[in-house]
Amino acid sequence: MRKSILPIPARSNSPDLGIAMLTIRPASSSDANRLAEIGLAAWELAVGDWGENPETLRENAWAAYAYFCAEHWMDILVGEWDGEIAGWGASENADDLITDLWVLPDFQNRGIGTHLLARLEQSVAARGYHHARIDTHARNARAIRLFKELGYYVHAYAVAYAPVLDRDVDKVEMVKTFDQHDELDESLSADDGLYGVTGR
């Protein structure tokens, strides 16, 4: 994977920030701990409700992020905002599924996730797929709206037990087609317009 540097107009309450530099690069093993911290922080914001055992759930979530980032750092793309790691994404199995997209809460709404997702989609297309899949927590309406604005459609809803978290997780799977010849295209027409953004 190549490194890319993009000048991005800074979105902030301060008009003096001007242009910030967003760098998209492959992760290194030394990034693993910071990436885990970012993943956990973004996940905490998205999930909100921690249920009856928040400390246990948080410990389990931290262990999952720490393991993934330590063992799969070579599959991760990092987004740096003016030299500071601000987010990351991954396609763990090198297929059509984008497994992770996390941006530190303080750096959200700056286009970091959008640019990371675009690079991950390019990698999916380069592997010969005509579509990309991504899933997210069903209660993460903010992420779902963003994905729909970027061309994704709700494809499936599922409740599955997550052993690492020791609880059932509600997930929405979303799909984006890159052309008009994808075998999933017909099923996408059933998108019901949830989360404030309509389908085709």
Asked, for residue 165, whether it belongs to a domain, the answer is no
Contacts of 118 (CB under 8 A, 6+ apart): none
For 60, the domain range is 1-94
Q: What phi and psi, each to the nearest 5 degrees, are found at residue 108?
A: -75, 160
Asked, for residue 16, whether it belongs to a domain, the answer is yes
pTM of structure: 0.81
pLDDT digit string (tens) for 129-171?
999 999 888 888 888 999 999 999 999 998 888 766 677 888 8
Mean pLDDT of 172-189: 70
Asked, for residue 146, whether it belongs to a domain, the answer is no
pLDDT digit string (tens) for 42-64?
988 887 665 667 788 888 889 99
Asked, for residue 103, whether it belongs to a domain, the answer is no
Helices 32-47 and 54-71: crossing angle, nearest 10°? Answer: 140
Asked, for residue 163, whether it belongs to a domain, the answer is no
The domain tally of the chain equals 1
Distance CA 11, CA 117 (A): 19
Asked, for residue 24, whether it belongs to a domain, the answer is yes
Asked, for residue 36, whether it belongs to a domain, the answer is yes
| Amino acid, single-letter form, for residue 76 | I
Asked, for residue 6, whether it belongs to a domain, the answer is yes
pLDDT digit string (tens) for 83-136?
999 999 999 998 999 999 999 999 999 999 999 999 999 999 999 999 999 988
